[in-house]
Amino acid sequence: QAESGVSHVATYTESMNPYSERRLTLMTELRRAIREDSLALYFQPQVRLSSGEVCGFEVLLRWNHPEHGFIPPDEFIPMAEQTGLIQPLTQWVLDRALLFGAAMDGAGYPVRMAVNISARNLEEPAFAELVQELLERHGLPTGRLILEVTETATMVNPVNALQALRGLYDAGIRLAIDDFGTGYSSLSYIRKLPVHEIKIDRSFVREMDANREDATIVRTTINMCHDLGFEVVAEGVESDDTSQLLRNMQCDIMQGYHLSRPMPEAHVAGWLSTWYYT
């Protein structure tokens, strides 16, 4: 059930000259991969700490390249953003994620799908309509989807980002700020963000069971976010101690290897059948 082949093709990052031939080839191949459906989505469960129920899944893109093997999203997403491919890519991810969401619905698990979007998607004028159209096509209410935008992405062009988030928010689409704490946004900016949830970055969560400073940061962030009216998700939960700490801190939702690594759709039913929480 663990992800296999996580030994990355490190050589890719070395040749990330924007115009390198290899990079252009890779983009052509990515375009084809979208068209031919040879990308895959993995799903990582999110659990509500107060009840232990599985409330959703974060959707994570995987590209298993025929020659180069597994290419991690951190490597090809930035390229897709620079080349404009991110638009069809996000559309594909949303469509597939909602297809899975509808299947889960049918199986009696009305859970939400958390989909990552990039700053470039926020710039698309018809993005909110696209999202609503896809939800309708899959027969899912808006609450069944949550879009994750990184704190950094909202800082590229803060005025536009705020406006775009507001448009999505007003359309009833749930929003989360991802990797919270790693950017440089000010508290006054955060206060204005039209979003429902804050995801505390895993760099603060991962070792909070052993590191008092990290635990302090997480506790303070949870309290502040609650006071501002946001729900709080902790990502990168790797131990039972951390999950207990988070529950005591009244964190709302957790996600991480302690529960499960991201898994292919075919493994989800099996994982759910063995899931229990004490």
DSSP state at residue 6: -
For 51, the token pair is 């009840």
Report the alpha-carbon angle 242-146-269, nearest 5. Answer: 65
Q: For the chain, how long is the longest CA-to-CA vector?
A: 53
Cβ proximity to ligand C2E, 44 vs 221, nearer residue = 44
**Residues found near ligand C2E in the complex (CB under 6 A):** 44, 60-61, 72-74, 77, 93, 116-118, 178-179, 202, 206, 235-238, 256-257, 262
Residue 201, C-beta contacts closer than 8 angstroms, at least 6 positions apart: 178, 179, 180, 181, 182, 235, 236
Report the alpha-carbon angle 104-105-109, nearest 5. Answer: 70
Shortest distance (Å) from residue 77 CB to ligand C2E: 5
| 274 to 259, 269, 271: CA distances (angstroms) | 11, 9, 5
- Which region, judged by CB under 5 A, interacts with Ca ion, from 44-52, 115-123, 124-132, 157-165? 115-123
Helix ranges, the chain (H): 11-14, 21-35, 73-83, 86-106, 119-123, 127-137, 151-156, 158-170, 187-192, 202-205, 212-227, 240-248, 265-274
Shortest distance (Å) from residue 177 CB to ligand C2E: 11
Shortest distance (Å) from residue 80 CB to ligand C2E: 8
Q: By Cβ distance, which residue is nearest to ligand C2E?
A: 256
For 29, the token pair is 């191949």
Name which position in 81, 148, 151, 197 contacts Ca ion (CB under 5 A): 148
The span from the CA of 145 to the CA of 114, in Å, is 6
Shortest distance (Å) from residue 21 CB to Ca ion: 28
Cβ proximity to ligand C2E, 13 vs 106, nearer residue = 13
**116 contributes a contact to Ca ion by CB under 5 A:** yes
Cβ 175 vs Cβ 195: under 8 Å: yes
- Which region, judged by CB under 5 A, interacts with Ca ion, from 8-16, 175-183, 226-234, 245-253? 175-183
Cβ proximity to ligand C2E, 42 vs 230, nearer residue = 42
Report the alpha-carbon angle 121-123-125, nearest 5. Answer: 100
**197 contributes a contact to Ca ion by CB under 5 A:** no
Name which position in 29, 81, 179, 197 contacts Ca ion (CB under 5 A): 179
Q: x/- contact string, 225-254, with Ca ion (CB under 5 A)? A: ------------------------------
Name which position in 29, 178, 209, 252 contacts Ca ion (CB under 5 A): 178
Q: Is 54 helix (H, G, I), strand (E, B) or coil?
A: strand
Cβ proximity to Ca ion, 116 vs 154, nearer residue = 116
Cβ proximity to ligand C2E, 142 vs 203, nearer residue = 203
- Total number of residues that touch Ca ion (CB under 5 A): 4
Cβ 76 vs Cβ 26: under 8 Å: yes
The footprint of Ca ion (CB under 5 A) covers 116, 148, 178-179
